[in-house]
Amino acid sequence: MKSRLTPVFILTVLLLAQATSLPAELPLDSIKNDKIRKALREVSLQLLFGNPVTTRSNARDIAWGLFNRGLSQERAAMGYALAMQAVAEASMKLDREALWHWDMAQVMVPNLRAELVQSYSGLVGMFDASPFRDQPSAIQRLSAEGEWLPSEGAIQAATVNQKAAIPSPSRKSNALLGQRVKVSYLVDTQGRTYTPVVEEGSENTLAVFTVLESILVWGHNPATVDGEARWSRLGGSFSFQKDG
């Protein structure tokens, strides 16, 4: 399967068509902080008028800026920034990153899909159409195509082979203390990560953000059966405690 999303070449046209009929109240208008809300609206306009590269960069800057300031209370703002980053990445055909950040956005804003489906059904439908929208549908598709790790044979589990340190907020280094998350994700035959799920600790906004952003870029040795690479699932728990 070469693409993990449905074709996205019509995305810009779709966005431009919807730009002329924006609802009076976008979901991000619920953000109370005026400065953050204004920044998000500016990024949404960049997205709607077909500038995905700028959108991706600016949406990413907003999300990481909130994280680095330790603003866990701005969970919704972080989620909306991640959603816009995901749509921009989809239009740039960065399917893996788009799906990952769309999943992250829904962890931050659990009702995100419901908020967007009425006015932006085309965008929501694009992600919904991917079998990688969640782990069960992905595993079902991969199993049907013979790409999933079977339960029998000479099996070697996937392992992490490239793991960077998980960053803490640069302006509030103790903001992660006491937080814990448990996650699972899929690893493809090239050792890349897909389809994260927060199994426990989803309420820990900053920990969820930094753990999932880190895992996205980790490298893995893929699982094998009888020497042939297969997709598989990995998981782990991450706790942030004071050194010593």
pLDDT digits (tens, 9 = 90+) for 132-177: 999 999 999 999 999 999 999 999 999 999 988 899 999 998 999 9
Helices marked H in 110-234: 112-117, 121-128, 135-144, 205-216
Written as one letter, the residue type at 18 is Q
Q: What is the pLDDT of residue 8?
A: 41
Q: What is the pLDDT of residue 26?
A: 60
Q: What is the pLDDT of residue 124?
A: 83
Residue 132's φ and ψ, nearest 5 degrees, are -90, 20
* Whole-number CA gyration radius for the chain: 18
* Residue whose token pair is 């997709």: 231
Q: What is the pLDDT of residue 244?
A: 46
For residue 143, what are the CA distances in angstroms to 27, 59, 229, 231? 37, 35, 13, 9
Residues of the chain with pLDDT under 70: 1-26, 119, 243-244
**Distance of alpha carbon 193 from alpha carbon 187, whole angstroms:** 5
Please name which of 211, 30, 220 lies closest in space to residue 109, comparing C-alpha atoms. 30
Contact indicator for 181, 211 with CB cutoff of 8 Å: yes
If one counts every other C-beta atom within 10 angstroms of the C-beta of residue 129, the result is: 11
Contact indicator for 64, 167 with CB cutoff of 8 Å: no
> How does DSSP classify residue 184?
E
Longest dimension (CA), the chain: 58
DSSP assignments along 230-241, one per residue: EBEEEEEEEE--
If one counts every other C-beta atom within 10 angstroms of the C-beta of residue 190, the result is: 9
pTM of the model: 0.90
Give me 71's structure tokens.
Answer: 């603003």
Q: What is the pLDDT of residue 4?
A: 61
| Cα 104-51-29 angle, rounded to 5 deg | 55
Q: What is the pLDDT of residue 11?
A: 45
Beta bridge pairs of residue 194: 186
